[in-house]
Amino acid sequence: MNYIISVCDPKVYGKLTEICRELNLPFDISFHGKGTAVPSMLDILGIESTERRIVFSFADEEKTKQFIELQKQRMFIGVPGHGITVALPVKSIGGGKTVAYLNGENKDAKYVPELKFNYELIIAIANAGKTDTVMNAARKAGARGGTVIHGKGTGGENAAKFYNVSIAEEKEVILIVSSVSEKSEIMRSILESAGPDTAAGTIVFSLPVSEAAGFGLI
């Protein structure tokens, strides 16, 4: 079972939701976000805006491959500037009813994860307005780009004291896909330039990616 994050241009968002319905993927949730491509890259790719739509959904291994393949066919995922899709392996699922629902209402379904991966999703949570600081550090270490989601922290006093940052502030969540070999260097660079002890106050961690498409230049 995978938790899939798809990032696309708003103009093709309808095609993405159409694919989700066609494959009957459960728990589709969409968010607004923006890309982090620099102006020169936007000009090269012919992209007018960095605005993005982000869709989260669940799929088993077979449907994950179908989902990504249909995005390649209908949305040209894999062509620079057309978006990205990453599948994160789900380690555990709470409750037999949820397991059954995610497996097409099969009441006898059981879940055993397979954690084999070549890529990782780096998640950096920074103070609002500090995306450029984070991405500049990431690019120095080889990152090609990322996607930003705006949000607000809900952490308590203990987290604020430990990290020396206020968690309950406006935040920006930066998603960066990297190869396993590049991940550590990218995270190290982010922490050195924009870590918890800086104005950016960035907390960074990574998750394994079981499938990925379309992030050659994003």
pLDDT of amino acid 9: 86
Q: What is the pTM of this model?
A: 0.69
At residue 29, the pLDDT reads: 75
Q: Is the pLDDT of residue 113 over 70?
A: no
pLDDT (0 to 100) of residue 61: 87
d(CA 204, CA 123): 6
Q: Once rounded to an integer, what is the mean pLDDT over residues 157-169?
A: 54
Going from N- to C-terminal start, the domains of the chain cover 2-102, 119-208
Does residue 178 carry a pLDDT above 80? yes
Confidence of residue 15 (pLDDT cuts 50, 70, 90): very high
Q: Give the model's pLDDT for residue 32.
A: 76
Question: Residue 205 and residue 50: Cα distance in Å, rounded?
Answer: 24
Does domain 2-102 fall into CATH 3.40.50.1000? no
Residue with the two structure tokens 């798809």:
6
CA distance 27 to 114: 21
Instruction: Let me know if 45 is exposed, middle or buried by CB neighbors in 10 A (0-12, 13-18, 19+).
Output: middle
Instruction: For 87-111, write each residue's pLDDT tens digit.
Output: 988 766 666 666 666 666 555 555 5
Give the residue carrying structure tokens 């550090």: 137
Q: Put the strands of the sheet holding 211-213 in their side by side order.
A: 203-209, 119-127, 170-179, 147-152, 29-35, 51-59, 2-8, 84-89, 211-213
Q: Report the distance separating Cα 54 and Cα 31, nearest Å.
A: 5
- The reply to whether 2-102 and 119-208 are identical in fold is yes
Task: Give pLDDT, residue 42.
Answer: 39
Q: Which pLDDT does position 40 carry in this prediction?
A: 47
Question: Which CATH architecture describes the domain 119-208?
Answer: 2-Layer Sandwich (3.30)
pLDDT at 168 over 60: no
Return the residue matching tokens 């291994």. Answer: 61
Q: Cβ(15)–Cβ(73) under 8 Å?
A: no
Radius of gyration of the chain (CA): 18
Angstrom CA distances, 4 to 86, 130, 204, stand at: 6, 26, 20
**Residue 202: burial class (beta carbons within 10 Å; 0-12, 13-18, 19+):** buried
Query: Which tens digit of pLDDT belongs to each residue from 59-76?
Result: 888 999 999 999 999 999
